[in-house]
Chains A and B, each alone.
Chain A
Amino acid sequence: MVGATPCASCKLLRRRCAKDCIFAPYFPPDDPHKFAIVHKIFGASNVSKMLQEIPVQQRGDAVSSLVFEANARSRDPVYGCVGAISYLQNQVSQLQMQLAVAQAEILCFQMQQQQQQQQQDHHHQQPNNIPITTQQMMNQDEKSLLLSTSNFDYNLLQQQYLNFSSTTSNNIVMQDPPKRESLWT
């Protein structure tokens, strides 16, 4: 039937919405803001090129992440998503410190317990090495301390932008750091 509603992209770009429009599945006409913000930051042409290079089954996620980044950049024109990343990295560092302190404390307790047990039970020698539960916790600690850097040399880029991370912490605009569940809202 002729006269199907054009998608939000084609409405904004004032063009005919083709049957195989690359934007149509992801930018429905009832949410014009979604495409508007992506177009403002990235440009329709760039978004189209990016989507064409991605398998169809991943384009939905790609669009969601582009919308997220565009909104972040719109809210914070200086730092965009990098502000959120800096904030979260700060949180990770603080948690790692707290973890280290807590693990040191528990290690102390266990060593004290071990010494007490050795003193009380003089005839039954305990092994000299650290109890297995603490070893397991330490291995778990090593795992949890690692930042996942699966895709690229993030650490190199991190060093690059650490020069302005001190100002970043003073200028964080993101009130709600994105959580896993609400990333796409």
Chain B
Amino acid sequence: MTSTRSRCAACKYLRRKCPSDCIFSPYFPSDDPQRFSCVHRIYGASNIGKMLKQLPVQLRADAANSLYFEAHSREADPVYGCVGIITNLNEEIHDAETELAKIQAHIGVHHQTKNPEDGEASQSGHSPVQQQ
């Protein structure tokens, strides 16, 4: 009995037979054609295949997901792609750190107001940014 396994999204897109060991099929199922067309537009099938093949099998799903994320970001923002997201996050961090420093300064002032004679206890124990 011949197998009637349906082609993965990649092989459908590329109009080719989907072999049983197709590198794309676990990560680009046939029910989500947009996913492969997106990564194909940005990276090309050959590059995707090469990148996946160079990775251990257990990491390929994560790699495919991150490639899709980056490709989708690039489609949405052709100039900056996901680097735009990184920029926004950096700005957000900068703003939050500034705000936190301001508030902690306020807290410091409040502590000092509360205990003017106790210089040590009036200082807040918080540092502006707790690094990991």
**Chain A residues at the B interface, C-beta cutoff of 8 Å:** 40-43, 45-46, 50, 53-54, 58, 61-62, 65-66, 68-69, 73, 77-85, 88-92, 94-96, 98-99, 102-103, 105-106, 109, 137, 140-141, 144, 147-148, 150-152, 154, 157, 160-161, 163-164, 167-168, 177-180, 183
Contact = CB atoms under 8 A, between A and B. Distances in A.
Contacts of B95: 144
B6 interface: no
Given A78-B55, A78-B59, A183-B86, A92 B93 contact: yes
A117 to B, nearest CB: 13
B116 interface: no
B69 A102 contact: no
B82 to A, nearest CB: 5
B89 A102 contact: no
B57 interface: no
Interface string B40-57: 011110110001001100
Contacts of A78: 55, 59, 62-63, 66
B16 interface: no
A88 B99 contact: no
A92 B88 CA distance: 11
A40 B104 CA distance: 47
A107 to B, nearest CB: 10
Contacts of A50: 42, 74, 78
Interface in B16-54: 41-44, 46-47, 51, 54
Interface residues of B, number: 56
A163 B129 CA distance: 28
Contacts of A157: 69, 72-73
B45 to A, nearest CB: 10
A82 B69 contact: yes
Contacts of A77: 51, 54-55, 63
A137 B55 CA distance: 48
Contact of A96 (B81, B96, B103): B96
B76 interface: yes
B65 interface: yes
B78 A102 contact: no
A106 B110 contact: yes
Given A82-B82, A85-B86, A160-B69, A95 B96 contact: yes
Given A42-B42, A42-B43, A150-B84, 19 more contacts: A42-B44, A46-B42, A46-B43, A62-B78, A62-B80, A65-B81, A77-B51, A80-B70, A81-B70, A82-B69, A88-B89, A91-B132, A105-B107, A106-B106, A144-B96, A147-B89, A152-B72, A178-B86, A178-B90
